[in-house]
Amino acid sequence: MVSACLAAPSLSQTLSARAQLTPPERGDTLVTFASDDFNTNPINIRIPFVVRGAKNTGKIALTYDDGPTPGVTDFILEQLAAHRSKATFFVIGQRVRAFPKLAQTIVEQGHEIANHSYTHPDLSKLQDGAVANEIEKTQKTIEDICGVTPHYFRPPYGAFRATQGALARAQHVQVIIWSIDPQDWRRPGAEIISQRITAPSSGGDIILCHDLHFQTAAASRIFIPHLAKNFSLVTLSNLLRGQHS
Ligand SMILES: [Zn+2]
């Protein structure tokens, strides 16, 4: 939901707050990685959530969460097409219902569409049945409207418990986090967003953006051509092919 995203604190703030409010049960570890941890120590994870692809492949996966959003998603699609680049869109199920043509356009243009829940709740606070429903309802909505079955799922706010990974696995979606987070949802300005994304990289990164506010679309017009000079911008399936089953 738009309001939920606007009000969202940083990932690390979210996670520390969650830890205080709902101490994990034994054996149920809340994801506690801030995006900085992903960048510096992405291998040190004990849960099967993907944070990046292999380095030195010349590939980067650009991902956009929370859409589709008329006036934003379509502008980003134009930038991607202009630079022969692909991206992955983690859509919210109820927004796919609201804007079906835009969701279809994402797929028609060769981009990947993925699952970001139906109503964008904090899944780490929900019961298993409700979490499974959020994932399944979105899978079915995307299948109905776009004619494809998503392979990937990203929990809203990155808030997910280790044991909830099994709920995603049961629905044949892999949990994807990210390795670069420009905090674009805070709307720091298109130039700042772009600078944070175009920092030196060895490739393999999964970049988190949001096709929710036009500022991110304006930033995309800056950073997509810059990234495309040095890397192939590919879908997650392309980046992760053969690495994760
Ligand atoms: Zn989101």
Q: How far does the centroid of ligand 1 lie from the alpha carbon of residue 120, in Å?
A: 6
Q: Quick one: pLDDT at residue 46?
A: 45
- Judge whether 66 counts as a catalytic residue: no
- Domain boundaries, position 235: 2-240
CA-only gyration radius of the chain, Å: 17
Residue 245 counted as domain residue: no
Q: Quick one: pLDDT at residue 59?
A: 95
Residue 177 counted as domain residue: yes
Q: Quick one: pLDDT at residue 113?
A: 98
The residue type of 48 is: P
Residue 86 counted as domain residue: yes
CB atoms inside a 10 Å sphere around CB 125: 13
Query: How far is C-alpha 181 from the geometric centre of its chain's CA atoms?
Result: 10
Say how many domains are in the chain.
1
Q: State the catalytic residue, choosing from 65, 74, 181, 205.
A: 65
CATH of the domain at 183: 3.20.20.370
Q: How far does the centroid of ligand 1 lie from the alpha carbon of residue 245, in Å?
A: 24
Q: What is the pLDDT along the chain (245 residues), one digit of tens a residue?
A: 333 343 333 333 333 333 333 333 334 444 544 333 333 333 334 456 898 898 888 999 999 999 999 999 999 999 999 999 999 999 999 999 999 999 999 999 999 999 999 999 999 999 999 999 999 999 999 999 999 999 999 999 999 888 888 899 999 999 999 999 999 999 999 999 999 998 767 899 999 999 999 999 999 999 999 999 999 999 999 999 855 43
Tell me the torsion sign for CA atoms 57, 222, 1, 13.
positive
